[in-house]
Structures are given as structure tokens and as C-alpha cells.
């Protein structure tokens, strides 16, 4: 999960990034339309310092994309207003430990790029 919230609790073990500048409801209409096409492919690139990880997932016509704060990329096909993509090839627990350590570092700048095809 990626959230616009500025903090997380100890129970937030699937949160990859806080203080994001967008939530699903902030996506532009062109991006949303592409992501809601049948078999749309989403590439998520997470960059922290010199480390970079790529995640592949799928969009769906069933996506709601209305949550103002949280975006979730799921391995399952469960869809809620927070769901940005389904059938992901990775979850937060699959990220390399070196990247996880960087993500936990206070003040670490993180760049997350979403590319839909």
C-alpha cells in the first residue's frame, strides 16, 4: 500500500510509502480509462536512492479508483475503492530487504512511477 497519510502504525506492515502526493481519486482521466481496460498492464517502479524495483500487475474494468488517500496493488483479484491493480507479481513482503531498509529510513525520498499499457 502507498498512502498520502504522513505516518504509519506498527500494524502497517504492508505499507511501502507514506506522504504520497496522489491517491486513486487524484489520477487523471486518461490514466484511469487505460487502467480500467480489460487486460490493462500496470508497471510500478519504486526507486529509493540507487535501489529500484519493478512490479507488474493488471488493471480491470471493475476498478473503482475513488479512494482519496490509499492505493493498493494486490496479488489477489479483490477490488475495493483503494485497489489500483490486481494479480500483481509481488507484494510488499516480496520486496528485496535492501529496499525495505531504505523505505524504513526517515526522510528517504521515494519515487513511485505507475505506467499503464
Q: In 10 A of CB 103, how many CB atoms?
A: 19
Cell numbers at 114, concatenated: 505507475
- pLDDT for 73 beyond 70: yes
Q: How many whole angstroms from its chain centre is CA 35?
A: 13
Q: What is the mean pLDDT of residues 82-109?
A: 93
* Domain with 83 in it: 2-116
Would the pLDDT of 14 be above 90?
no
**Three-state secondary structure call for residue 67:** coil
Can you give the CATH number for the domain in which 8 is found?
Answer: 2.60.120.630
Distance, in Å, from the CA atom of 38 to the CA atom of 14, rounded to the nearest integer, reads: 27
CA angle 79, 84, 103 (to 5 degrees): 120
In the structure, what pLDDT confidence band is assigned to residue 12 with cuts at 50, 70 and 90?
Answer: low
Tally of domains in the chain: 1
pTM tops 0.85, yes or no: yes
**pLDDT given for residue 68 in this prediction:** 97
Amino acid at each position: 500500500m502507498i498512502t498520502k497519510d504522513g505516518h504509519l502504525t506498527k500494524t502497517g506492515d504492508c505499507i511501502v510509502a507514506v506522504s504520497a502526493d496522489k491517491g486513486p481519486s487524484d489520477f487523471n482521466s486518461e490514466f484511469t480509462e487505460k487502467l480500467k481496460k480489460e487486460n490493462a498492464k500496470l508497471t510500478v517502479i519504486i526507486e529509493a536512492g540507487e535501489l529500484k524495483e519493478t512490479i507488474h500487475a493488471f488493471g480491470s474494468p471493475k476498478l473503482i479508483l475513488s479512494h482519496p488517500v490509499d492505493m493498493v496493488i494486490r496479488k489477489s483479484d479483490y477490488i475495493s475503492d483503494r485497489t489500483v491493480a490486481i494479480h500483481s507479481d509481488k507484494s510488499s513482503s516480496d520486496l528485496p530487504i535492501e529496499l525495505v531498509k531504505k523505505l524504513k529510513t526517515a526522510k528517504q525520498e521515494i519515487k513511485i512511477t505507475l505506467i499503464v499499457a
